[in-house]
Every structure is written in structure tokens, then in C-alpha cells.
Amino acid sequence: MNILVINSGSSSLKYELFDMARREVLTSGLVERIGEPHGMLHHRWRTENGVTDHLDRKVDVADHREALSAVSEVLRGTGTFEEVRRLRAIGHRVVHGGESFQAPTLIDQSVIKTLREVSRLAPLHNPANLLGIEVCLDAFPNVPQVAVFDTAFHQSIPAHAYHYALPHQLYTEHQVRRYGFHGTSHAFVAKRAAEYLGRPLNQVNMITLHLGNGASAAAIARGRSIDTSMGMTPLEGLVMGTRCGDIDPALVFYIGQVTGKTPREIETLLNRESGLKGLCGVNDMREILRRSENNDAQASLALDVYCYRIKKYIGAYLAVLGHLDALVFTAGIGENSPLVRRRTCEGLQPLGIALDAQRNEQTTGAAREIQSKESTVPVLVVHTDEELEIAEQVRDVVAPASTP
């Protein structure tokens, strides 16, 4: 069974085609700078003898429709179009499902209508996701298409955790509440962590830490999300590459007063000029680690603030969960930075969390445990694969209970 996963952004279109039986990526790629000068198409595919090949090509594409045509052309050229013909379904990543979508959903006209309505909750992301859906519905009218939401996994969060202490009308009339994001990643690593522990997912409590360019923590009780650090938008919570995470909300007004910036400019400042980048000028953790090693005070401060915020969330979620079966690190930084893991877990021995220095330094793609003998809580590093999780959820919708 072949499933195509589409992640459509405002100026990019990512795609990945899975052979679900073999859990293998047949082809994948990305069109960037759609509607802008100097567009590029990066394409990877498996050749007949099982080797991965790639090509990078300049493409001038005015919109997502032209981007999809460019992808079709390259699929034909590289002999992978036959695999696309055998498509069983297409999965679309959708950032915000609001309260309307609690699970992956087969797309029809009424779903599209609801998607348009919830788009106002995520004006930066959902319209681009919808574009991808519409273009694929036209190109593959006979293939079932499924929307998979970043917010869906967190729809199990209870009311006391998702309500802001704001006038209730803002919730009833404008759906102001916490939703949480990165749901596919938290769901994926939670499943893999439970498999690693050899226990049923619905019997394990975990804290999952997705530390990529965006970052979020989730408290998972018996397999279900009961709290997460992102809120109504992905701006809340942990320190991120360019997002500030938690701040005093009054700062928005203060920043406006002292800088004369408009609300739109402040939104950009908090989303794109803050976080690690705001603190030290760069958002790439590898660069920050290098600079900090060379005694760059700003980079060291950024690292301190970053790790301290994660530690606070671990403490909070330990209190929320009561009992913890695993602490799980994932995504670019979580999987690859022993130093961030060490700094985050430092001093948590009284709470049952301690790392083994050697295990923590190991680098392997496989799921592994890095806690010391004294640690009562397993600490795991698990590679996340949001596209594969989307493909698995799509398979469960179009072919429930089938083996791949």
C-alpha cells in the first residue's frame, strides 16, 4: 500500500511517498520558494537497485498547482510515477484543527468547509495547508485524501489545562483556549517509547520533549496527552529557535510603548526575532553550542535560558502526572545534543531522573535509553518521524485493521 504525505506551507511543498508494507520511503522531496524568484525542487528517490539518488533543480513556479506539476514531471523523469499511480491514499498535514477535528479525517466538501472556518485560528499555516489539499484533490480526484492535524493528539487535554484564565466569552465566542501542536510527533514518539519499554501505550505515563526549531513538551498519561506547552498558537511554552515561548503578556503592550512597533510588528518580533535568535543572534543550536564552547557569553546565556525552561516544564509535568514511566527526548536538538540533555536533567536526581554520561554521548539513530543505574525513571532518545506517523494514521483511516 503506497501513501503520499503532503506538507504544504505558504511558500513550500514537501512530499514523501511511503510503501507501508515495507515501511520504506520510495521518494521524497521539497519545492521551495513557490511564487518567489529562484524556486528550487529537491527530489530523492530509490533506484531499482535500492540506492538513493537525488536531484536539485531550479524551478519557476507561480503557485502550488505549478509546484505539484513540477513534482509530477520529476516523478515521471525518475521512473517513480508508477508508484504514485498505485497510490492508496494521500495524507495532508494540517496545523490547526481547532475543536472540530479530534482525529485524522477523510476529506470531503463539508470537511473543507470546516477547515476554512478553523483557518482563522492559524492564519499563518492553515490556508497554505488547504491550498495543498485543493491542488491534490484536483490532481488525484479518485484517491482518498485524509487530513492529519497537529492539534488532534492534544484534544484529550482536560478543561482545567486548556482554559486560559480569561473572560469565558473569549472561549465561547472566539475559541480562545490552549490547543497544543506537534501532536503527530508526540504521538509517534510516545508509541515508539512504549514499544521500546515493552509495555502497552495505555499503561505508560511519559513526558515527551520535542526539541527542534519549534519546541514543545507534552505530559502523556496512559498514552493520552493531558497537557502540552504550546497554546492557542505555537508561540507559548519552551524557548524555541526564533519564538520566545512563555512571557509576561503585559510585555506586548510595554514593547509597543517603548519601541513604537505595531501589533503586527510585535507578533513578528515574538515569532521570528526572539527565542535563541533573540538571545544570541542565531537560532541554529549547533552554532550556539560551538560559540558557547568558545566562551561566547551571549550563546552561553541562550543555552542556559533554553535548558532552564525545559527543566521547569519537566518539574511541572512530573507534578501533573504523579508517576513517570519515561522521559523522552526527540527532534533535531533532543536527538542530537548530549549537552542539552545533560543540562536539562542536571539536578533532577531527587525526582528520580539521572543520566549516564557515556550512554548520553552515544550517537545512533535507534531508540535508546540514557539514564544511569540510580535513575528510577527511564530516559529515552527516540527519533521522530512525523511523515511516517501521518502515513500510519492515514492507513488506519482508509484501511482500518489491515496489516500494512
Residues with a known catalytic role: 150
User: d(Cα 229, Cα 223) in Å, to the nearest integer?
Assistant: 17
Contact pattern from residue 280 through residue 319 relative to ligand ADP, giving x for each residue in contact according to CB under 6 A and a dash for the rest: ----xxx--x------------------------------
CB atoms within 10 A of CB 365: 8
Choose one: 137-145, 149-157, 221-229, 330-338; the region binding ligand ADP (CB under 6 A). Answer: 330-338
By the 8 A CB rule, do 326 and 193 touch? yes
User: d(Cα 73, Cα 274) in Å, to the nearest integer?
Assistant: 40
Toward ligand ADP, which CB reaches closer, 45 or 329?
Answer: 329
Collapsing DSSP to helix, strand or coil, 290 comes out as helix
Residues numbered 235 to 254 that lie near ligand ADP (CB under 6 A) are 241
Toward ligand ADP, which CB reaches closer, 97 or 214?
Answer: 214
Least separation in angstroms between CB 1 and ligand ADP? 26
Choose one: 83-91, 164-172, 211-219, 394-402; the region binding ligand ADP (CB under 6 A). Answer: 211-219
Toward ligand ADP, which CB reaches closer, 115 or 285?
Answer: 285
If one asks whether residue 332 binds ligand ADP (CB under 6 A), the answer comes out as: yes
Residue 120 per-residue DSSP state? G
If one asks whether residue 268 binds ligand ADP (CB under 6 A), the answer comes out as: no
Alpha-carbon distances, residue 198 vs 189, 243, 375, 392, 403 (angstroms): 14, 36, 18, 20, 20
Collapsing DSSP to helix, strand or coil, 25 comes out as strand
Least separation in angstroms between CB 307 and ligand ADP? 13
If one asks whether residue 333 binds ligand ADP (CB under 6 A), the answer comes out as: yes
If one asks whether residue 212 binds ligand ADP (CB under 6 A), the answer comes out as: yes
If one asks whether residue 336 binds ligand ADP (CB under 6 A), the answer comes out as: yes
Kindly tell me which residue out of 132, 214, 278, 378 binds ligand ADP, with binding defined by CB under 6 A.
Answer: 214
User: d(Cα 331, Cα 214) in Å, to the nearest integer?
Assistant: 9
Q: Which of 154, 93, 101 is nearest to 125 (CA)?
A: 93
Choose one: 36-44, 46-54, 208-216, 231-239; the region binding ligand ADP (CB under 6 A). Answer: 208-216
Residue nearest to ligand ADP (CB): 332
Residues forming a β-bridge with 300: none
Least separation in angstroms between CB 53 and ligand ADP? 23
Kindly tell me which residue out of 100, 213, 268, 300 binds ligand ADP, with binding defined by CB under 6 A.
Answer: 213
Alpha-carbon distances, residue 331 vs 17, 118, 134, 381 (angstroms): 21, 27, 30, 9
If one asks whether residue 180 binds ligand ADP (CB under 6 A), the answer comes out as: no
User: d(Cα 370, Cα 220) in Å, to the nearest integer?
Assistant: 20
Q: Which residues of 300-333 are buried (b: 16+ CB within 10 A; e: fewer)?
A: bebbebbbebbbebbeebbeebeebbbbbbbbbb
Toward ligand ADP, which CB reaches closer, 102 or 271?
Answer: 271
User: d(Cα 200, Cα 187) in Å, to the nearest integer?
Assistant: 14
Contact pattern from residue 36 through residue 75 relative to ligand ADP, giving x for each residue in contact according to CB under 6 A and a dash for the rest: ----------------------------------------
| Binding residues vs ligand ADP (CB under 6 A) | 212-214, 241, 284-286, 289, 331-333, 336-337
